[in-house]
Amino acid sequence: MRDFEYARPASLADAASAFSGGGEAAFIAGGHTLLPAIKSRLRMPDTLVDLAGVAGLTGISSDGDRLWIGAMTTHATVAVDATVAAKIPGLTGMAKLIGDPQVRNRGTLGGVIANNDPAADYPAALLALDAIVDTDRGSYAADDYFQGMFATALADGEIVTRVGFRVPLASAYAKFRHPASRYAVVGVYVARFADGVRVGVTGAGPGAFRWPEAEAALATDFSAAAVAGLPLDPADLNTDIHAGAEYRAHLAGVMLADAVKAA
Ligand SMILES: Cc1cc2nc3c(=O)[nH]c(=O)nc-3n(C[C@H](O)[C@H](O)[C@H](O)COP(=O)(O)OP(=O)(O)OC[C@H]3O[C@@H](n4cnc5c(N)ncnc54)[C@H](O)[C@@H]3O)c2cc1C
């Protein structure tokens, strides 16, 4: 076992100060990604800065056309929250599909999007729901925030504080789950707004991305028929032990149709 310091700050300022105290530091939320990474020595922080005691990082509220969810809010909380269900039921459905009960009880919104696993569900939802990511240093539009496999716009030591999802007229998420981990082999989130349609895809490529051709087709006719057979170029998609790129391209079309029907 490798020794490390453990800090449990009560404010964002104290968390930032603990992070910059010297050596390599890491924030810990639910630990679902970070602890396995430490155990396997992919990460070897000198200081763990626990965000669990930091004021203001949990909670769900709605304000104008946005639904705000605190970074430390667990997937289990999102899955049962009445405000989420009333404002964006598609997000409720997505949260229920994340992992298993253990994962949903510990895993957090901030942890998922700081990590940006290419098969995680939330990135597709943030892109489709035109989300804003607030941090202790500023804000990012979801379109600018996600920057490919495990990469985001966050600077070293920057803390995600909350995410603001734009409330759509209708939305839904459909995913083809890996049978063991439940991560998305391919997941598609579709959101319809008064001024257009946004489609976020996860699991298929090196990072979550929008699907402009699907958005254009659905803007004029929001139906599964409008996107039947819509091609997605497999050249940019992942091939791994779970699925080939051509199969993922096919699955994206199937998940897109399922999400549109559900929305
Ligand atoms: C078996 C298993 C199955 C899973 N299945 C799914 C699935 O189906 N779909 C899915 O989307 N996800 C899935 N996950 C991931 C899960 O949703 C967790 O939320 C994810 O692993 C992140 O864990 P965490 O929230 O505990 O964050 P941690 O592991 O504590 O942190 C993850 C990373 O984010 C950083 N971080 C955490 N919070 C913040 C913050 N507020 N600001 C800045 N940086 C921060 C940490 O420093 C660390 O680098 C699965 C995980 C496991 C273990």
pLDDT tens digit sequence for 222-246: 999 999 999 899 999 999 999 999 9
Give 176's pLDDT tier (boundaries 50, 70, 90): very high
41: Cβ contacts below 8 Å, ≥ 6 apart: 2
The predicted structure's pLDDT at residue 1: 62
Distance CA 88, CA 226 (A): 24
The predicted structure's pLDDT at residue 22: 78
For the CA of 122, the closest atom of ligand 1 is: 11
3-state secondary structure of 105: helix
Radius of gyration of the chain (CA): 18
The predicted structure's pLDDT at residue 2: 76
In a mutational test of the pocket of ligand 1, which residue from 58, 75, 103 has the highest number of ligand atoms less than 8 Å from its CB? 103
Distance in Å, CA 106 to ligand 1 centroid: 9
Residue 176 bridge partners (DSSP): 186
Distance CA 35, CA 33 (A): 6
Q: What is the DSSP letter of 236?
A: G
Q: Does 140 or 229 have the greater pLDDT score?
A: 140
Distance CA 236, CA 259 (A): 22
pLDDT tens digit string along 81-93?
Answer: 999 999 999 999 9
For the CA of 28, the closest atom of ligand 1 is: 30
Distance CA 127, CA 139 (A): 15
3-state secondary structure of 54: coil
Q: Percent of the chain beyond pLDDT 90?
A: 95
Comparing C-alpha atoms, which of 262, 80, 57, 75 is closest to residue 183?
Answer: 75
The predicted structure's pLDDT at residue 21: 83
Which residue CA neighbors atom 16 of ligand 1 most closely?
A: 107
Distance in Å, CA 111 to ligand 1 centroid: 4
Kindly tell me if the per-residue pLDDT of 44 is higher than 70.
yes
Comparing C-alpha atoms, which of 198, 218, 214 is closest to residue 249?
Answer: 214
Q: What mean pLDDT comes out for the span 133-147?
A: 98
The predicted structure's pLDDT at residue 54: 98
Q: CA neighbours within 13 Å on the CB side: how many for 127?
A: 28
Distance in Å, CA 107 to ligand 1 centroid: 5
For the CA of 104, the closest atom of ligand 1 is: 17
Q: Which CATH number fits domain 5-50: 3.30.1600.10, 3.30.43.10, 3.30.390.50, 3.10.129.10?
A: 3.30.43.10
pLDDT tens digit string along 96-138?
Answer: 999 999 999 999 999 999 999 999 999 999 999 999 999 999 9
Distance in Å, CA 215 to ligand 1 centroid: 29
Mean pLDDT computed over every residue of the chain = 96
Distance in Å, CA 29 to ligand 1 centroid: 8
Ligand 1, pocket residues at CB < 6 Å:
26-34, 51, 71, 75, 98-99, 103, 106-108, 110-112, 114-115, 120-122, 159-160, 181-183
CA distance between the termini of the chain: 49
Query: What are the backbone dihedrals phi and psi of residue 186, each rounded to the nearest 5 degrees, phi first?
Result: -150, 135
Domain ranges of the chain: 5-50, 60-262
For the CA of 160, the closest atom of ligand 1 is: 42
Kindly tell me if the per-residue pLDDT of 68 is higher than 70.
yes
Distance in Å, CA 259 to ligand 1 centroid: 24
Distance in Å, CA 34 to ligand 1 centroid: 7
Kindly tell me if the per-residue pLDDT of 6 is higher than 70.
yes
Q: What mean pLDDT comes out for the span 191-210?
A: 97
60-262: what fold? 3.30.465
Residue 46 bridge partners (DSSP): none
